[in-house]
Amino acid sequence: MRQSSRITFRSTFRIKISDRESDALIGYAGDVSECGMKLLTDAPVEPGAELKLRVRMRDRQGEMRQVDVNMTCQWSQENTRTGFFEAGLALQGDSAEYVRLIESMRKVREEKV
């Protein structure tokens, strides 16, 4: 059962996900939660793969925010409607910085309502 609700985005390209070691763009976050994310990418991700990622986005003030995280692929499938591969990623261990990023996104959304 899901431990926390997801934040989904209208713009698929809001949060960039890169390989932390090569800095190569892997894809974009389709949704995020304090426990992980759905990754949208051009190539499939092997379930069980451990990924060292860099999450990047601009905040409302235009400042670039980035967080390094380790995640494990739980599932992967092709979305024939969009042409992207989707992968469910779970956060490995604790990442207070990642959780703070998600909490700040929730706060901004609540302020808009």
- Tell whether 2 is covered by a domain: no
CA distance 65 to 56: 6
Q: What is the CA radius of gyration of the chain?
A: 13
CATH number for 20: 2.40.10.220
- Tell whether 36 is covered by a domain: yes
This prediction has a pTM of 0.85
The predicted-structure confidence for 32-84, as pLDDT tens digits, reads as follows 999 999 999 999 999 999 999 999 998 778 889 999 999 999 999 999 998 99
Q: Where are the beta strands (DSSP E) in 1-113?
A: 7-8, 16-19, 25-33, 36-41, 50-58, 64-78, 85-91
Enclosing domain of residue 77:
7-108
